[in-house]
Structure 1
Amino acid sequence: MSQRRPTVKGSFSLSNPAVRAWLFQIIAIVAVVSVAIYLIHNTVTNLSNRGITSGFAFLDRGAGFGIVQHLIDYEQGDTYGRVFLVGLLNTLLVSALCIVFASFLGFFLLARLSENWLLRKLSTIYIETFRNIPPLLQIFFWYFAVLRNLPGPRQAVSAFDLAFLSNRGLYIPAPALGEGIVGFIVAVLIAVAITVGLYRFNRTHQMKTGQLRRTWPTALGLIILLPLLSHWLFGAALHWDVPELRGFNFRGGMALIPELAALTLALSVYTSAFIAEIIRSGIQSVPFGQHEAARSLGLPNPVTLRQVIIPQAMRVIIPPLTSQYLNIVKNSSLAAAIGYPDMVSLFAGTVLNQTGQAIETIAITMSVYLIISLTISLLMNIYNRRIALVER
């Protein structure tokens, strides 16, 4: 009786799961590319039939309008390309400020885990109130109900005649580089290098002998004394341009417009409530046995939280925290509602209306937000991998 020989699956046979997987992926890529080519060709054809020019040549044309806040030099005759840079920097500015302030407030709201009844209840009220109010309404509240009701420039609130707060914004002294800036930078770098070396030496000494040597008193002395020595030898590193009231407004210094303040306050307060809950969930995810083990070793609560609990909680905190940082960047586009000159307000608003280049301006704006979000995700993922607990 003859036995049937088993069939051998070929490496390129459709019965091979790996081949099928690659085939389906290739089909999907071809389909997506084909649809994209069709849409692009259809769009270009329709624009051509209607006599609408396309391309990015408009970036070299003069804008012809002013911008209230700009971190780089800008005049009305500058190009739309310059407008793009101004809007980009304004978006990055408000996003960075909100990320810093929201993170600080979020960690401060750990008082919800406090044993003090009053602090715990106040933190709970703060979180449950601000995270349940839409961010746009909070922006309107801070802008129209608070900042716009401040006194005028002549009755501005003054802080030692250096900073002035009015309904026109916050005016503070602006730094200008002095002749001693190079010496100051060198002094700071030397102080940081010595501090890092001393920290590593003290850490090695502690691992060998068990004796703890504090680094911060020496580091504080170096960071203060070396720049002062540089100031005495080479001159001032910075000069300050103090704002002064001239006519109906302040001149000189640096102005923080009310739109920036309202947007920063609203998004920081709104996002900090979510960050606080993320941090609380991360800390509570650590087994309570870790707390008991630290207490049995005699560690005080601040040291236990900093050295034992937080490092273990970070693997739970980082992923949702990244999402909140991305939400800050995307929510910054709400600035258009109060006229803050960010990317959406300037490029997808004013520039689009003046040039009619809808596709180009929207594509540039979307690309900017995509790149910023991907960059934040990349940096947070790198940080997450560095602090990850590795089991050996």
Structure 2
Amino acid sequence: MQTNANASRTRGSVWTDPKVRAWLFQILAVIAVVALGWYLFDNTQTNLDKRGITSGFGFLNNSAGFGIAQHLIEYTERDSYGRVFVIGLLNTLLVSGIGIVLATILGFILGVARLSPNWLVQKLATIYIETFRNIPPLLQIFFWYFAVMLAMPSPRQSLDVGGTFFLNNRGLYLPSPSATDGFVPFLAALVITIIGVILMARWGRKRFEATGQPFPTFITSVVLLVAIPGLTILLAGNPFTWEIPELKGFNFRGGWVMIPELISLTLALSIYTAAFIAEIVRSGIQAVSHGQTEAARSLGLTPGKTLRLVVIPQSLRVIIPPLTSQYLNLAKNSSLAAGIGYPDMVSLFAGTVLNQTGQAIEVIAITMSVYLAISLSISLLMNWYNKRIALIER
């Protein structure tokens, strides 16, 4: 009887052990997920076989047979769907990258302006924020595309800026550079200068922390970045030759062109996201204790230096996490490009390629994987930066 009682207590202690239950539930969850995944895969494969649809990624080697309005790499209609995928990916990254930079700059300016003691500046920033963050981004894209870009004059009546930049309803035409013999020395001098500026900035920060004496890092950096590459140009020659767009017939030839779809999408996403970033910056600045500002002023720091050296560095610890979400939203909102025909991943790959090949599962899986990879990359980079600036308690 004693033996049975001990065995019963042993079994009871096993099932009531939190660690055992945790492992058991995790194993059951994994089995359930695997079983569901296998069921979906088998069901999909069966339905594809019944309809005579072949699966796999061999279609990526087939010729696309259609043109693309914008491509950052060489492309012809004879190229494969795999190359179309690369072009769509690069176009998506281009919009996302430019949009993140512009939205961050504009958002920080508006966030600081929202707290300005100047009544007019504060109200203008408030009107901007409350207006653009409450209008759906797709409508803003339509506004910039149909009401602004397509309303521009024709190429023959282009808006001319200095004889080198031309804006019309077919896009913005820019001079394009071509490398010369002086490019390699210029690039080497620029890289060395940038490394030197980074090392100098670190030294200046350590010097300030040790002695309290500021070093003019910004002015010195600007001087070095201008003087050393400029001296290299004088010695080795101009690193570039510029091809200026020229009006030939009914359109411009030569140079670079930003198509109306790219301009409209970039402006709309940047302006829309900047309104949210401005509120994040405002809340981050207000989260810093007012005693920090008073201490900085008691030390004789000007309002500009107080904001740059005291308030902003501390507010970044509050700003970065929600800022990451806005970067992710901007990257995902770039898929709205399909509304105006900009050749991004969704428009090109999940649109044209899917319609031509019928490989719905493969195309959608690739597109989803691309956006997942972009989002995870942004999150990893921002989380790394957030950990780097985090306060470390001693």
- Corresponding residue for residue 81 of structure 1: 82
In 1, Cα distance between equivalents of 2:203 and 2:315 = 29
- Corresponding residue for residue 58 of structure 2: 57
In 2, Cα distance between equivalents of 1:169 and 1:103 = 24
CA positional deviation for 1:148: 0.5
In 1, Cα distance between equivalents of 2:216 and 2:6 = 77
* AA matched with 2:66: F
CA positional deviation for 1:311: 1.9
| 2:337 is the alignment partner of 1:338 | no
Give the TM-score taking structure 2 as reference length: 0.94
- Corresponding residue for residue 239 of structure 1: 241
CA positional deviation for 1:390: 1.2
In 2, Cα distance between equivalents of 1:274 and 1:217 = 32
- Corresponding residue for residue 307 of structure 2: 305
* AA matched with 2:310: V
In 2, Cα distance between equivalents of 1:120 and 1:35 = 55
Decide which moves more: 169-178 or 287-296.
Answer: 287-296
In 1, Cα distance between equivalents of 2:168 and 2:288 = 47
CA positional deviation for 1:8: 7.6
- Corresponding residue for residue 255 of structure 2: 253
- Corresponding residue for residue 17 of structure 1: 18
In 2, Cα distance between equivalents of 1:276 and 1:305 = 15
RMSD after superposition = 2.0
Contact (CA 8 Å) 1:162, 1:242: kept in 2 or not? yes
* AA matched with 1:91: T
CA positional deviation for 1:219: 2.9
Taking a change above 3 Å as real, the CA distance of residues 48 and 175 of structure 1, as seen in their structure-2 partners, is same
In 1, Cα distance between equivalents of 2:372 and 2:210 = 49
Taking a change above 3 Å as real, the CA distance of residues 341 and 279 of structure 1, as seen in their structure-2 partners, is same
Taking a change above 3 Å as real, the CA distance of residues 207 and 352 of structure 1, as seen in their structure-2 partners, is closer
SS in 2 for 1:149: coil
* AA matched with 2:14: S
Q: How does 1:1-392 map to 2 (within 5 A)?
A: 13-109=14-110, 110-207=112-209, 209-392=211-394
Q: List per-residue Cα deviations over 1:315-361 (Å, max 9, x = no partner).
A: 21111110000000110000000000000000000000001111111
CA positional deviation for 1:217: 3.8
* AA matched with 1:45: T
Decide which moves more: 187-196 or 168-177.
Answer: 187-196
| Structure 1: tracts of 5 or more residues without a match | none
CA positional deviation for 1:302: 1.4
In 1, Cα distance between equivalents of 2:148 and 2:175 = 23
CA positional deviation for 1:222: 2.5
In 2, Cα distance between equivalents of 1:314 and 1:306 = 11
Q: List per-residue Cα deviations over 1:112-165 (Å, max 9, x = no partner).
A: 100111111111110000000101111111110111100000000111211100
| Structure 2: tracts of 5 or more residues without a match | none
In 1, Cα distance between equivalents of 2:180 and 2:288 = 51
In 2, Cα distance between equivalents of 1:257 and 1:360 = 30
* AA matched with 1:274: F
Give the TM-score taking structure 1 as reference length: 0.95
User: Identity over aligned residues, as a percent?
Assistant: 63
SS in 1 for 2:257: strand
SS in 1 for 2:156: helix
CA positional deviation for 1:7: 9.1
* AA matched with 2:321: P
* AA matched with 1:48: D
User: Which consecutive aligned stretches of 4+ in structure 1 deviate over 4 angstroms post-superposition?
Assistant: 4-12, 200-210
Q: List per-residue Cα deviations over 1:40-83 (Å, max 9, x = no partner).
A: 11101110111101110000000000000000011111000000
How many pairs were matched up?
A: 390
Decide which moves more: 366-375 or 171-180.
Answer: 171-180
Q: List per-residue Cα deviations over 1:10-61 (Å, max 9, x = no partner).
A: 8992221011111101111110111011101110111011110111000000
In 1, Cα distance between equivalents of 2:13 and 2:80 = 57
Decide which moves more: 20-29 or 196-205.
Answer: 196-205
Q: List per-residue Cα deviations over 1:149-207 (Å, max 9, x = no partner).
A: 00000000111211100000000011122211210111112222333444444445545
